[in-house]
Structure 1
Amino acid sequence: MDESVYDKNRELQRKLDHFIKQARANEKKQELYETFGFEIIGASNPRQLRDLLLSRSVARFQLLDMVLCLVDHQKDADRLFFEHDEEARLDSANKLLILDAIKDIDLIQSLTVIPLLGIEALTRYRWMINDLKCRDQIKSAAYFPLLRSNQVIGAMMLLSQDPHRYQKGIGTLFLQKLSAMTAVAIENCLNQQRIKEISYQDVLTQAYNRRYFDLRFKDEIARCVRWDDDLICMFLDVDHFKKVNDNYGHQTGDSVLRHMVNLIKEQVRSCDIVARYGGEEFVVALPSTTLHAAHEIAERLRKAIYSSAIILHDKQLNVSVSIGMASLRDLSISLQHDADFICTALLDRADKALYEAKEGGRNQVAVYTNPML
C-alpha cells in the first residue's frame, strides 16, 4: 500500500476516534446536566433547592463557584429560602443575591435575556461576584438568564478558574437547558412553599396557627438543646379583650388582633415563631435568645402596643397586653428528656407567668420563677 494512502487512512482514523470520543463525552455531559435538572425539578422545598444549586452544582460540574440571582417580585424569596436558618443565610449571603423589584430596578434591567460567556459576562456582571471570597481566582464565567412567561426572574453565573472553560462562541445548549429547568424549579418550589404556608397560617391575623407552632416548637427546642442554646417562650394576651368586642364589635376586635400581630412581627426576627394560640392569646418562640434580651423585646413590644392607637372612624382605641415568659435553660433539661415533655413544661411555665402578669395588674411583663427556689 502506498505510504501516503496509509498516512491518510491513519489520519482519518485518528479524526474518527476523536469525534467518537467527543460524542461520548457530550453524551455523558448531557446525561449529567439532565440528571441534575431532574433533581432540581424534584426539590421538595426551597432549602433543598438552595443546597442543590449553590453547593452540589459546584462539585457536580467542577466549578470554582456559582452565583444565583433572583428578582423578588413577591417580597418573600429571602424568607422562603432562609426562614429559620440564619447560619445558611450567612453562608449563602454572597452566592444567592435577592433583588428587590423596586429598589434594585437598575440591576434587574441589566439582566439580559441572552446568555453571555467569557470576559463579557465577567465585565457586565461584576456586581454579582464582587463579594465572593474567590473573586480573584475567577478566570472565566457563563451568565444565563432565568426566564418564565417571558419575564426575567433571575440569572445564574457559573464561575471557573480555567480561562478556557467558558469562551464566547462555544456551544451552550446543555447550559441553556439547565437554566430553563432551574427557572422552572425555582418558580414551582417557591409556589409550592407558598401554598404550604397558607395551611399553616391563621386566616385572620396571618400569624402562624397552633398546628404549625407545635411542629416548629419541638424542632427549635431540639436544636437549642443540642447546641446548648437558650430559647424563650413568650405568651401574650390582650387585656380586657371581651370588653373590646362587647363595646366596639367583633370587627374592631379582629382589627386589634391584626394590629397586634403586625407590631409583634416588627419587634422579632424572621427566625422567631409568632403564632395565634387561641382567641386573643398569642405565643412567640425566640430561639438562641437570652432571657435578658427577650425581656427587652417584650418590654418594647408592650410599650409599642399600648402607645399605638387603632383609629375607629372619629375615635381611637388603645389596648394593652400582658406578657408571660419562660426560659428553656431554666428547665435544667438534657438530651435525654422527651421533646413533648420539654414543650409542655416550657409552655406551662410561660402560661403561669402570663397569669402572674394578669394578676399583677395587666399591661406588664412577667418572667416565670421557680417557686421551689
Structure 2
Amino acid sequence: MTSAVDTETLIADNQQLRAELQDLLQQAHINQSIIERHQAFDLKLIGASEFRELIDAMLSTMPGVFNLETVTLSLIDDDYAIQRILRDLQIGLNEFPNLLFLKRPIHFPDEGGRALAQEKPRLGEYATALHQPLFPGYQPVSVAVLPLVRQHRLLGYLALGSAYRERFTRTLATDFIQRLATVAAICLENVINNERLKHIGLTDPLTGVNNRRYIEQRMHEEVARGQRERSALSCLFIDIDHFKRVNDQYGHQSGDDVLREVAARIKKELRLSDALGRFGGEEFVVLLTHATREDAARIAERIRAGISSRGIMIEGSRDPLKITASIGTASLMPPDRSRTAEEVKQAMLKAADQALYQAKESGRNRVVLSAAY
C-alpha cells in the first residue's frame, strides 16, 4: 500500500518533470524561432540581386538577426576594381561605413605563431593588433572572423562582433558559422559578378567610362528626379578639337591614347554623383546633378583647363601633344514638368550640342553656355 510520503514524492517528481518538460518545450519554441529567423535571413541573402541589397542585408539586418553589436564586411580589392565598379554604379562608400577594403589578406597566427588555414573561421577574444582593421568603428569583446572563400580564392572577411566574452570562444563549434560563411561567399561572388556584367554592358571598353547607352539612361532618370524634386540639373557636351588630325598624323593607336587620357582628365574633375559617358568618336557628355548654370560653367572651365594645361605623350612624337577641347553646356533649373522626361532630356542634349557648335565656330578651346530653361 502506497504511503502518504511516497504519494507526495511522486507528486513532487511529477511536478518537476512537468516543469522540465515545459522548459524543454519553451526552449524548443525559442530554437524553432531562431531557426526560422536564420532561414529567413539566408533567403534574404540568396535573393539579393544587387550589391547594395546584399550589403544592406549583411551589415544592417544581420546584427539584429544574430544579436550582435556589429558586423563588418572587408573585401580584398588590391587593384581597386570593385571600388571603381561601385563608384560607376553610383554606390557611395559612405553609405556603408562597415564596408571595408583591404589590399591584402590578414594573417591570423595560431597560439604557436603558425599561420592558420585560410578558410577556417577564427573565434575568440578581441585583440587590437589583430582585429582592429576589421572593426575600425567599434571594439567588441569577442569576435568571429569568417573568411569568404570561393574556388579557393579569398574574397574577404565577414567579421562578427559581440559585447559578451562568452559569445565567441575558441572551443565553440563552428559548423553553423562555416555554413553562414559559405552562403555569404556564394552570394557575394554572384552579386559582384552580376555588377561586373552590368558595368561591362554600360561601359565604353576603350576609355573605361560609361557608354552612350548608360549616359542617356541616366539622364532620363535624373531629369525625372529633377522634375519631382524641383532640383537643378546640367550637362556638358565635350568635343576634342582637331582630333582627326591626331589619327591622320600619328595613327589610331595614338588617337586611342588621347581619348583615354582626356577621359581620365575629365573624370578627375567630377563628383561621385556626376556621370561621364563617351557619346561617340571624340565626343563626351557629362551629367551634373544638382548643378546650376553657374556650377556648370565653373566645372566646364575646370575641365577645359585640365585638358589643355599639359600635353599628352603619344607614340611617334618626341614632345607632348597639345590637346584642347570645346565644351557646350545646358542647364535645367528645374526641369520642365509639362513635358515628358524623355522630351526634356532630348531638348537638353540638343541645347548643349548647339552650344558646343558655337564654341567650335568661335575659335575652339572654350566653353559656351546655352540659356537656362
TM-score (norm 2): 0.82
Q: 1:253-281: CA deviations, max 9, x gaps?
A: 23322222222222223432111112221
Moved over 6 A (4+): none
Correspondence for 1:109 = 107
1:318 is matched with 322
Q: How does 1:248-287 map to 2 (within 5 A)?
A: 248-287=250-289
Q: Take 1:40 and 1:61, find their aligned partners in 2: how far apart are those partners?
A: 14
Structure 2 distance, partners of 1:13, 1:74, is 63
Q: Residue 101 of structure 2: which of 85, 98, 103 is its match?
A: 98
Identity of aligned residues (%): 36
Structure 2 distance, partners of 1:327, 1:234, is: 9
Consecutive unaligned residues of structure 2, counting only runs of 5 or more, are 110-115
Label 1:92 to 1:82 Cα distance change in 2 as closer, same or farther (>3 A). farther
CA 1:31–1:15: 2 relative to 1, 3 Å: same
Structure 1 residue 69: Cα displacement: 1.7
* Cα distance change of structure 1 residues 169 and 22 upon mapping to structure 2, 3 Å threshold: farther
Deviations 1:60-81 (A, max 9, x none): 4444432222221452323444
**Change beyond 3 A, Cα 1:225–1:310:** farther
The answer to which of 49-58 and 272-281 deviates more is 49-58
Q: Say if 1:245 and 1:252, in contact at 8 Å, map to a contact too.
A: yes
1:57 aligns with 2:62: yes
CA distance in 2 between partners of 1:57 and 1:227 (Å): 33
**Do residues 193 (structure 1) and 195 (structure 2) align?**
yes
Instruction: Give 1:119's aligned amino acid.
Output: E
SS at match of 1:206: coil
Equivalent position amino acid for 2:181 in 1: S
Residues 135-162 of structure 1: CA deviation (Å, up to 9, x unaligned) = 6xx5654432222233432222334456
Q: Separation in 2 of the partners of 1:67 and 1:130?
A: 9
Distance change >3 Å, CA 19–CA 150, structure 1 → 2: farther
Alignment check: 8 A CA contact 1:33 1:178 kept: no
C-alpha separation in 2, matches of 1:84 and 1:305: 25
* TM-score, scaled to structure 1: 0.82
**Which residue number corresponds to residue 78 of structure 1?**
83
Counterparts in 2 of 1:61 and 1:291: CA distance versus 1, 3 Å: farther
Distance 1:81 1:62 in 2: 29
Shift of 1:6: 5.2
Q: Which residue of 2 aligns with 1:67?
A: 72
Structure 1 residue 125 corresponds to structure 2 residue 131:
yes
Give the Cα separation in 2 of the matches to 1:232 and 1:220: 10
Equivalences, count:
358
Query: What amino acid maps onto 1:22 in structure 2?
Result: Q
> How far off is 1:314 after superposition?
4.5
Deviation at 1:189, TM superposition (A): 0.4
In the alignment, the residues of structure 2 paired with residue 227 and residue 165 of structure 1 have an alpha-carbon distance, to the nearest angstrom, of: 47
Q: Distance in 1 between matches of 2:165 and 2:365?
A: 66
3-state SS of the aligned residue for 2:368?
strand
Q: Does 1:327 align with 2:331?
A: yes
For the Cα contact (< 8 Å) 2:73–2:99, is it kept in 1?
A: yes
Q: How far apart, CA to CA, are the structure 2 residues paired with 1:357 and 1:227?
A: 32
Q: Which amino acid aligns with 2:75?
A: L
Quick one: structure 1 residues 119 and 290, their matched pair in 2 at CA, closer, same or farther if it must change by over 3 Å? farther
Q: 1:15 to 1:335 in 2, by over 3 A?
A: farther
Q: Distance in 1 between matches of 2:200 and 2:289?
A: 23
Q: How big is the alpha-carbon RMSD for the aligned residues of Structure 1 and Structure 2?
A: 3.1
1:341 matches 2:343: yes
Deviation at 1:355, TM superposition (A): 1.0
Q: Which residue of 1 aligns with 2:216?
A: 214
Q: Distance in 1 between matches of 2:339 and 2:164?
A: 53
How far apart, in 2, do the equivalents of 1:285 and 1:336 lie?
22
The answer on 1:309 being equivalent to 2:312 is: yes
One-letter code aligned to 1:31: E
Aligned-pair CA distance for 1:20: 4.4
Matches within 5 A, 1:40-55: 40-55=45-60
Q: Deviations over 1:260-310 (max 9, x none)?
A: 222222222343211111222111112133444443433333233232223
- Are the structure 2 counterparts of residues 81 and 258 from structure 1 closer, same or farther at C-alpha, using a change threshold of 3 Å? closer
Residue 233 of structure 1: aligned partner: 235
1:365 offset after TM fit, Å?
Answer: 1.5
AA partner of residue 183 (structure 1): A
Does the 8 A contact of 1:80 with 1:190 survive in 2?
A: no
Q: Secondary structure at the match of 1:247?
A: helix
1:162-188 deviations in whole A, cap 9, x for unaligned? 666545544443333222211111111
Q: Does 1:33 align with 2:38?
A: yes
Q: Quick one: distance in 1 between partners of 2:163 and 2:338?
A: 49
